[in-house]
Amino acid sequence: MTIDRTFEDESAGGSSTPAENMSPILISNEVIDQAKLSRPHKATKRSIRLVNCTGDKLRKLTIPVGKRFQADIPKWNKALAYDYNLESSKWLGEKIWPIGSGNINTNIEMIGKGRPESSCSCDFPGSIECIKSHIHEERLRLLSEVGDAFYSWGCDKMGEAVSESWTLKEQNNFNKLFGTRTLSYEGFWRRAVKCLPMKQRESIVSFYFNVFVLRNVSRQARLPSPVIDSDDDNK
């Protein structure tokens, strides 16, 4: 049995530049263009399916088949699945919420639709401050509804709230560091950890995704002709 898989054409060869090593989310168009100019023409990445079509190259990944390579999955038994006394039930985890036979009043109609326009009485509806205050209200409401589950689910480590454990100076340092980035993806995070000695790498990555990227997108979305580039900071 063989399957197709996507791969980068190795025949293109050549050493990669730091810009090529960076994550797409960390790289601006400007850096990409410079990287393109500074290296010879490189073959476009193509999936093996396309390569096979054109007959340029044939390369397949072999998946071994046989007793030694297959998982033994027992037949699904609906009746047993609901028996929580089973030894296997220990893998099902622990119920966190609702506690006991708590009632869940969820308005499924509202899920994914956002806040109705009419519900806002802010001075500047849709402004950054308006959105911030509504997110804050909803967080408090969620906390009061689900209690400790709020923390078990990691809701306290999501969104703008992540910045609460960062001083203004630390935030500015991160912004400056990102604005002058010329390093590879790995190099950038290594330097960030060095420049922010009070922060763990996990905390810095969390700040980047939960705060830095969202602030940029939020600001850019409000420009007269918005062009969303999550990295486009300090320009």
**214, exposed or middle or buried, with CB in 10 Å at 0-12, 13-18, 19+?**
middle
Least Å from the CB of residue 163 to Zn ion: 20
Contact segment (CB under 5 A) with Zn ion among 112-120, 148-156, 164-172, 216-224 equals 112-120
Least Å from the CB of residue 137 to Zn ion: 9
How many Cβ atoms from other residues are within 10 Å of residue 25's Cβ? Answer: 11
Decide whether 95 or 132 has the Cβ nearer to Zn ion: 132
Verify binding: residue 80, Zn ion, rule CB under 5 A: no
Decide whether 120 or 149 has the Cβ nearer to Zn ion: 120
Q: Which residues contact 178 (CB under 8 A, 6 or more apart)?
A: 188, 212, 231, 233, 234
Decide whether 95 or 222 has the Cβ nearer to Zn ion: 222
What is the size of the binding site for Zn ion (CB under 5 A)? 3
Verify binding: residue 120, Zn ion, rule CB under 5 A: yes
8 Å CB contact between 17 and 38: yes
The structure tokens 């923390």 sit at: 151
Verify binding: residue 35, Zn ion, rule CB under 5 A: no
